[in-house]
Amino acid sequence: MNTNKLHTAEARIREQAAAYCAANHVPGFVAGVHHAGEQFVVAHGTANVTTGAPMLEDTGFLLGSVTKVLTTTLVLQQVDRGVLDLDTPVVTYLPEFALNVPGAADKILVRHLISHTNGIDADLYFPDAKGRDALKTYVAGLASGCGTLFEPGEQLSYSNGGMIVAGRLLEVVTGLPFSELLARDIYTPVGMKDSSTSAEQAILRSTAIGHFPDPETMEARPTGMFTLPDTWGPAGGTPIGTVADLLAFGRTHLAGGVSPSGTRVLSAGSAALMQQVSYDLRSPNTPPMGLGWVRYPFGDTTVLAMSGASPGGVSILCVIPEHDLVLACFGNTPGAILLQDQLLQWLLSEHLGVPIPTLITETEQDVDLAPYAGTYRSGQLRIDVSVVDGQLEERAAYEPADASQERIFTEFAGGTTAAPPQRYVPIRPGLFAPAGYPLEAFDGYLRLLLVSYHDVRDGQARFRNGGGRMTRRA
């Protein structure tokens, strides 16, 4: 690795982070790159606008859904040990697992939980429970409160519920609470020395909090909720780490399951299995899914990635096996995801010389929009789709199941749960882009903003897919 080249990348990321944060009211940002045996971490700005604490290179932050790759690694460890089998029904190990559709849970295999193909309709299910029985409480609530979106293996839909059930499954087969298992079998052998599993642990060291833009001034204001409930731990609610710790975890997967210290964390076969395609929806807005990892194609180069939203913050972990590179970032407002996308594309195109082809090259004008109009639902989300002026117009509404879940979701969303109507222009039948965006905006991570429709029968689409999440025609 050319040291000067890495220094150039460090200077570029430091400069770009400072400029973006200043222009977009992002209080703080921290990023790190490991490439071919060398690495750097840069930090900018403020970790908490209330206290004025600086964002440091070793400041901790909520991992958010990056945790899902850690949870998947824990599941594969138990497969390596012969405790779990991926193609065995979950109820074999977790008999109390049930949904409100009789017999539906019986069809879900362990593999479906970690490949986002389980169909559990629980993406916005937020039971409020703490402590050792939090995940047990979550699974118990599924039986009366949550159904299915599709048959297991039929579709791909990003699944918080699947990962939380996987976390409870791990508790049952190991006899350890998820937080203790995470610390014992991931943090310790990987060398994630500054990572923690609770706010009580995080308060003992430098830790960032999230912020939301004030609707009127756009200035960042601190979140009123640091973490989601303990029930969301395995999906990303509570684990906290640093950029250096995430780089160490990414390097472990680069090295076929061997940590930077030489400890075997995962078998080479299981590490490879996580990176292989487990399901491909064959739609530009939803990259192929591995186990835990999402496989973003940039031409012939694959970026293994997972991003993570927390209350007022966003993290990302990217592993590029073909180029021995790991990128980890955190910004403490939701808009920092745009900066993360810019940095990833710059590293690919300028630092690594990877051509980034245009994902969407043209649009079609004469697309029949009738099959896509209608109402789509998943859990507590309703999306009404209508045809207006040759475009699709979507109105999304959050319909809380109870006051507790409304409170949690509202705090998680920064107080704003109602979105204005959004227009979409057709790219081709079944694929639409938000109006007003240049097509090149979707070449990177923001391809998730595209919306697709699937399984058209009798002139009507059965599913709408936005952000990797399915809703089903009502």
**Which amino acid makes up residue 210?**
G
- Is there a catalytic annotation at residue 115? no
Q: Which of 65, 278, 307, 315 is catalytic?
A: 65
Question: Which of 188, 186, 205, 158 lies closest to 61, judged by CA?
Answer: 205
User: Which residues belong to the active site?
Assistant: 65
